[in-house]
Amino acid sequence: MANVITKAQIVTWLERSAALLEEKKAFLTELDSAVGDADHGLNMARGFAKVLEKLPSVADTNIGSILNTTGMALISSVGGASGPLYGTFFIRASTAAQNRQELEPADVVRMLELGIEGVVQRGRAEMGEKTMLDALTPALAALKSQIDSGAELPAALDACVTGAEAGVQSTIPLIARKGRASYLGERSIGHQDPGATSATFLLTVLRDVVKASGPS
In a domain? residue 166: yes
In a domain? residue 104: yes
In a domain? residue 54: yes
CA distance 12 to 52: 10
In a domain? residue 153: yes
Q: CA-CA distances (angstroms) from residue 33 to 46, 164, 180, 210?
A: 17, 22, 11, 33
Q: Which amino acid is at 119?
A: V
In a domain? residue 67: yes
**What is the mean pLDDT of the segment spanning 70-82?**
90
Is the per-residue pLDDT at 26 higher than 80? yes
Q: How many domains does the chain have?
A: 1
Residue 15 — very low, low, confident or very high, per pLDDT cuts 50/70/90?
very high
Measured from the Cβ of residue 18, the count of other Cβ atoms closer than 10 Å reads 21
Residue 29's domain spans which residues? 5-211
Is the per-residue pLDDT at 81 higher than 70? yes
Measured from the Cβ of residue 121, the count of other Cβ atoms closer than 10 Å reads 11
In a domain? residue 216: no
Looking at residue 184, its pLDDT comes to: 46
In a domain? residue 124: yes
Q: Which amino acid is at 154?
A: P
In a domain? residue 83: yes
CATH number for the domain harbouring residue 189: 1.25.40.340
Residue 54 — very low, low, confident or very high, per pLDDT cuts 50/70/90?
very high
